[in-house]
């Protein structure tokens, strides 16, 4: 029973993510069926739901992130995967090839 106080915030974030994506998408589908744009309005609803979800999860997790004390080692561990992703994303095509 002592695990419930830890699980409740995680469950609430999970439900928030699911519902903030589903509800605008379903409303968009319903509007799309009414105005004969079955693809456009669900995509608009999904985009709006994604924006709502990102903002809401950020607001829910902000107190936990502010409580963390970050030292330089933690910051470097956080930056390293981002550097790898950016290196892969912006890899120049001519690099490494023999011409």
Residue 96: pLDDT above 60? no
According to the model, what pLDDT value does residue 70 have? Answer: 67
Q: Given its phi and psi angles, is residue 64 left (phi above 0), alpha (psi -120 to 50 degrees) or beta?
A: alpha
User: Which pLDDT tens digit goes with each residue over 11-48?
Assistant: 888 899 999 999 999 999 999 999 998 899 999 999 99
Looking at residue 46, the DSSP 8-state letter turns out to be H
Query: Three-state DSSP class for 53?
Result: helix
């Amino acid at each position: 029973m002592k695990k419930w106080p830890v699980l409740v915030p995680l469950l609430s974030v999970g439900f928030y993510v699911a519902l903030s994506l589903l509800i605008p998408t379903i409303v968009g589908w319903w509007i799309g069926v009414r105005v004969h744009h079955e693809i456009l309005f669900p995509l608009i609803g999904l985009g709006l739901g994604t924006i709502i979800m990102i903002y809401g999860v950020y607001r829910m997790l902000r107190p936990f992130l502010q409580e963390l004390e970050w030292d330089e080692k933690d910051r470097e561990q956080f930056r390293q995967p981002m550097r790898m992703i950016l290196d892969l994303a912006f890899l120049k095509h001519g690099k490494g090839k023999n011409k």
